[in-house]
Amino acid sequence: MLRRFTRTPLRAAAVAALLLAAVAGTTSIALASIPDSHGVIHGCYQTKGTAHNLKVINNKVTAHCPRGYSALNWNQAGPKGPAGLSHGYSTESIDGHTLGSSSETVVATATLPAGSYIVNATVTVTAATGENIAQCFITNASGNASGGTVSANNGITTIPLTAGLTLSAPAVIAVQCAGSGETLGENITAIAVNDLN
């Protein structure tokens, strides 16, 4: 005697739940394979033409790239790169300094720990009367002097300075200027680098 299968709402819901769980389990297994267990992402890129399309593949399902494609694998984390810049220091002021032609005037300072630095500085100079000439430099760094001519009648010029320097111990670096005229603003920026060549 054949038994007739009777569909009930409760039985239909149970079957649907089982099917859904089976599909979800299959999907999670496939998703877990990209990247693989070693953290590698596998792909295939098109070698012909100009587009070079890239397809990410699950290497457990697709062991080889299709014809016209080449394998391209990469690590999701990637190798650790070289250490970059670690610190930057900046000081800025709008203190006015009157420059003397026979002496050097400290117009800006910055305190730096031991290390190597690329230092940039600017000094803005003005002249109230006749044409003036000013020259500035960064202490603790040789060959970085720079100058500018300031035109008369409240003319303004900005003198830029750049130097690379290495300090074996913490030190105060300074921008010093000589000549004639007055400063309107000064800025020092020092960026720490791994080494200077």
| pLDDT 10s digits, 81-111 | 555 555 677 777 777 888 877 778 888 888 8
The residue whose two tokens read 């009648």 is: 153
Task: Specify the pLDDT at position 84.
Answer: 54
Most confident of 17-31, 37-51, 74-88: 37-51
Q: Which CATH number fits domain 88-193: 3.30.420.40, 3.20.20.70, 2.40.110.10, 2.60.120.1340?
A: 2.60.120.1340
- Mean pLDDT along residues 139-148: 68
Nearest to 149 by CA among 136, 131, 137, 128: 131
Task: Specify the pLDDT at position 83.
Answer: 56
Q: Is the pLDDT of residue 79 over 60?
A: no
User: Is residue 77 exposed (0-12), middle (13-18) or buried (19+ Cβ within 10 Å)?
Assistant: exposed
Strand, coil or helix: what is 19?
helix
- Based on its alpha-carbon atoms, the radius of gyration of the chain, rounded to whole angstroms, reads 35
Identify the H or E element spanning 134. Answer: strand 132-138
Domain parsing of the chain, residue ranges: 10-75, 88-193
User: Is residue 109 exposed (0-12), middle (13-18) or buried (19+ Cβ within 10 Å)?
Assistant: middle
- Give me 147's structure tokens: 């100058």
pLDDT-derived band at 160 (thresholds 50, 70, 90) equals: confident
